Structure 1
Amino acid sequence: MFGELGASWDAARCERLLRQHRGPLGGGPGRRGYGGALSPREREVARLITSGRTNREIAELLFLSPRTVERHVASLLRKLGARSRTEVSPGARRTRPG
């Protein structure tokens, strides 16, 4: 808004103050993360795990590489606080706080 009014000095000052108090303006590069919640793809992989599918089968069904499926499995196990695939339940949701 300052820029539209020709007040570039005020705009720069406000941007500097915002950076000092809350970090850089705008979002960072890349997509927004899901934090501790499972992404839609991780939920889909969890559902296929509970139906007894292997990583290779999941990769074929979802048109992904087996390595990508391995990453999704590792991520969802971490988020669920599970140590193995057998601990993933059909209605997989995040089970541990924080």
Structure 2
Amino acid sequence: MSEYIPSYFIDTSLSEHRWICRLCSDKIKKQQLPSRALLNKLEVCQIPSELKKLNNLEKHLIALRLPFMKILNLTSGKVSSRLAQKGTKGPLHCVPSDVQDT
């Protein structure tokens, strides 16, 4: 882990600022790899074209987990509910789905 951290800082120019979140900074100070690091292969990969074409029902049929939650509009009534920023309230339940049968 220690060989990756210096290379991150050496690559920067004097005019470039790089920020590290508190969670990652604490882990780096302890000489540990942060759990959200790219080295843990947590980067977002490209979505296959077959999955991009699915409608909402098809996405739910192949989902490994089905979330159940109460979704609220976070903005006032001036904005259309379709365009409003959303948020959740109350418990969130993720139910496993058996995709072999679908």
TM-score by length of 1: 0.25
Q: Which has the higher helix share?
A: 1
TM-score, normalising length: structure 2: 0.25
* Larger strand share, 1 or 2: 2
Higher relative contact order (CA 8 A, sep 6+): 1
